[in-house]
Amino acid sequence: EGKEKMALQKTVFSGPFIHSESLDKLEICPNGSIGVDESGKIAFVLKDASKEEQPSGWEQAKAVKIQGHGFFFPGFIDTHIHAPQYPNSGIFGKSTLLDWLETYTFPLESSFSDLAQAKRVYNRVVSRTLSHGTTTACYYATIHVPATNLLADICHTKGQRAFVGRVCMDRMSPDYLRDENTEQVMKATHETIDHIKKIDPAFDLITPILTPRFAPSCTNDTLTELGKLHKASGLPCQTHISENKDEIKLVHKLFPDNKSYADVYDSFGLLTEKTILAHAIHLSAEERALVKMRQAKISHCPASNTAITSGEAPVRLLLDEGLTVGLGTDVSGGYTSSMLAEAREAIFVSRHIAMREGDKVKLSVEEALYLATRGGAKVVGLEDRIGGFEVGMDWDAMMVNLASPPHEDDYNELDQSQGVVDVFGKETWDEKVAKWVYTGDDRNTSAVWVKGRLVHCRKGVTV
């Protein structure tokens, strides 16, 4: 609390910086300089510091410089992650969605009635995602209000920008993990909203998000009330859609009067420009048109879609049709909490589709990084504040360092603290970025800032 309120020091970040200019183009400024003011906002951006003058009044500012091979990059935006499922990362066997939920997920989530468990896990997942450069995360918690509120506290204290959702599930859920009825769902939902209003009244860093788990796990009454609250409060909403074929069949059975899965959400007022839909793998053309008309957003979760074999989301098609797409790790359907790994997964899934459909559907490194930053910013409705380096935006950023050339023939001389990206110095900038995406990991993320505040720094790194 005290730390968070501490005034920031005006800082000039100098050295190479890279961000997305458009879906398929990165802007690379090898000799950049970015000034961040006491409120954590970007005050100036010099794309070439050798040609442009630094504004006056910044002579005394703190200086943070890139050393060796490296660059500043916008923080990643994880548009879909289940914080309580983090202990199950990598544990999914050969399950598919519905039996995965029963076998692995619901039992683990039920353990969050224990606040000590929540404290242990939520501290770990927030620290870990920050270490991967995730500056904004859209979290699903569980049905438990005290644990969900603790997740909000932990994000707030550690300084991660977050959307925190108390999960609503009053149907088709086991007795040990189910809301009693609509009244209780709404009471619990309000308790988390009220808690977040207390810790962050303007929702500057932490925002409550309405979270009907997915259509099958909510009664019609609950969906109706959540739709009303969504409209009345203007709070965002997140849910799952069209992830798995058996799930879709179940939705048709449970909602026989609705035309489609997307139509179910639409009929309850839960398909709006403030709705984040995870997966969206098997949407029909009609559903995609409806999602587009409502300006609802899509969280693409390729690692999860591969792990629990849900399918391949047709990202090129979604983008071509003008839908807004970001990336989500979907821990622990997804095995990784790293958005860098998720970007890589997005690229590889697209290449598998390309083996059938042709090169056009391949996502490039640039496109995957766009989805992880600017795309995610649009998904969470913060494209004017985060996702790139523009004057007036918040400094949500990471410092990426790539290894310097190792001492010849001596593996022991490799600087393990700088990760496994071997950069020999002859690479173009495009090649360095590709090496980072394909061979990098959290060891290359030296430091991370949210709203100008340092929220992660690797051991041995000083900034």
Name residue 122's beta-bridge partners.
none
Q: Which position among 304, 338, 444, 446 is part of the footprint of ligand GUN (CB under 6 A)? A: 304
Q: Which stretch binds ligand GUN (CB under 6 A): 97-105, 121-129, 153-161, 417-425?
A: 97-105
Q: Which position among 170, 247, 330, 394 is part of the footprint of Fe ion (CB under 5 A)? A: 330
Number of residues that bind Fe ion (CB under 5 A): 2
- Verify binding: residue 161, ligand GUN, rule CB under 6 A: no
Helix axes 429-439, 339-357, angle to 10 degrees: 100
- Verify binding: residue 214, ligand GUN, rule CB under 6 A: yes
The string of DSSP letters for 78-140 reads EEEEEGGGGGGTT--TT--HHHHIIIIIHHHHHGGGSHHHHHHHHHHHHHHHHHTTEEEEEEE
Q: Which two tokens stand for residue 269?
A: 């007022």
- Verify binding: residue 69, ligand GUN, rule CB under 6 A: no
Q: How many CA atoms lie within 13 A of 21 on its CB side?
A: 9
The Cα–Cα gap between 189 and 169 comes to 11
Site for ligand GUN in 371-390 (CB under 6 A): none
Residue 214 binds what, of Fe ion, ligand GUN, none (CB under 5 to 8 Å, by partner type)? ligand GUN
- Of 182 and 329, which CB lies nearer to ligand GUN in the complex structure? 329
- Verify binding: residue 95, ligand GUN, rule CB under 6 A: no
User: From the CB of residue 355, how many other CB atoms can be counted at a distance below 10 Å?
Assistant: 10
Question: Helix (H) and strand (E) counts for the chain?
Answer: 16, 18
Residue 243 binds what, of ligand GUN, Fe ion, none (CB under 5 to 8 Å, by partner type)? ligand GUN
Q: Which position among 132, 166, 240, 378 is part of the footprint of ligand GUN (CB under 6 A)? A: 240
Q: Which position among 170, 200, 225, 330 is part of the footprint of ligand GUN (CB under 6 A)? A: 330
Residue 171 binds what, of Fe ion, ligand GUN, none (CB under 5 to 8 Å, by partner type)? none
What is the DSSP secondary structure assignment for residue 205, as one 8-state letter? S
Distances (CA, A) of 288 to 184, 207, 356: 33, 27, 22
- Of 200 and 330, which CB lies nearer to ligand GUN in the complex structure? 330
Q: Which position among 32, 212, 302, 333 is part of the footprint of ligand GUN (CB under 6 A)? A: 333
Site for ligand GUN in 102-121 (CB under 6 A): 105
Number of residues that bind ligand GUN (CB under 6 A): 11
Q: Which position among 170, 243, 287, 442 is part of the footprint of ligand GUN (CB under 6 A)? A: 243
- Of 333 and 419, which CB lies nearer to Fe ion in the complex structure? 333
- Verify binding: residue 328, ligand GUN, rule CB under 6 A: no
Task: Estimate the share of the chain in helix, then strand, then coil, as percent rounded to the nearest 5.
Answer: 40, 25, 35
Residue 319 binds what, of ligand GUN, Fe ion, none (CB under 5 to 8 Å, by partner type)? none
Q: Which stretch binds Fe ion (CB under 5 A): 170-178, 244-252, 261-269, 277-285?
A: 277-285
Question: Checking DSSP bridges between strand 167-168 and strand 211-212, what pairing results, if any?
Answer: parallel
Residue 147 binds what, of Fe ion, ligand GUN, none (CB under 5 to 8 Å, by partner type)? none
The Cα–Cα gap between 419 and 426 comes to 19
Q: Which two tokens stand for residue 202?
A: 């303007």
Name residue 421's beta-bridge partners.
none
The Cα–Cα gap between 227 and 265 comes to 9
What is the DSSP secondary structure assignment for residue 55, as one 8-state letter? P
Q: Which residues bind Fe ion (CB under 5 A)?
A: 278, 330
For binding to ligand GUN (CB under 6 A), which residues are involved? 82, 97, 101, 105, 213-214, 240, 243, 304, 330, 333
